[in-house]
């Protein structure tokens, strides 16, 4: 497997046109006050992304970067986690 690309999920979302810089900045500001929340969860809660959009974006993130952000599974249900992991294995 190729080397992993070191890029944060939020930056990846902005660079790929999935969210705007302003949306990321707002989510990061909220995250400062609640460090336990991950950026994707905040974006979904804010209505910036649907859960389905976030799952597709995470699939893309995993394929492009080779990273497997394990903390994502803290708020996705098991079926969504299985789907992400299965798609990651196919690539």
pLDDT in tens, 41-77: 899 999 999 988 998 898 888 888 887 765 555 556 6
The mean pLDDT of the chain is 81
Q: Return the structure tokens found at 39.
A: 């950026």
The confidence score (pLDDT) of residue 78 equals 65
The confidence score (pLDDT) of residue 55 equals 85
The model carries a pTM of 0.73
Percent of the chain at pLDDT above 70?
71
* C-beta contacts of 20-26 below 8 A and 24+ residues apart: 23/48
55 touches 63 (CB < 8 A): no
Identify the DSSP state of 6: -
27 touches 42 (CB < 8 A): yes
Identify the DSSP state of 9: H
SS3 90: helix
Of 61 and 22, the one with more pLDDT: 22
Asked whether the predicted pLDDT for residue 16 surpasses 80, the reply is yes
């Amino acid at each position: 497997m190729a080397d992993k690309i070191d890029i944060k999920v939020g930056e990846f979302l902005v660079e790929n046109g999935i969210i705007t810089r302003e949306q990321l900045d707002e989510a990061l500001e909220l995250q400062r006050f609640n460090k336990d929340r991950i950026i994707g969860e905040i974006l979904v809660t804010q209505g910036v992304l649907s859960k389905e959009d976030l799952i597709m974006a995470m699939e893309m993130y995993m394929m492009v970067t080779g990273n497997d952000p394990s903390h994502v599974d803290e708020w996705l249900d098991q079926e969504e986690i299985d789907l992400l992991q299965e798609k990651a294995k196919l690539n």
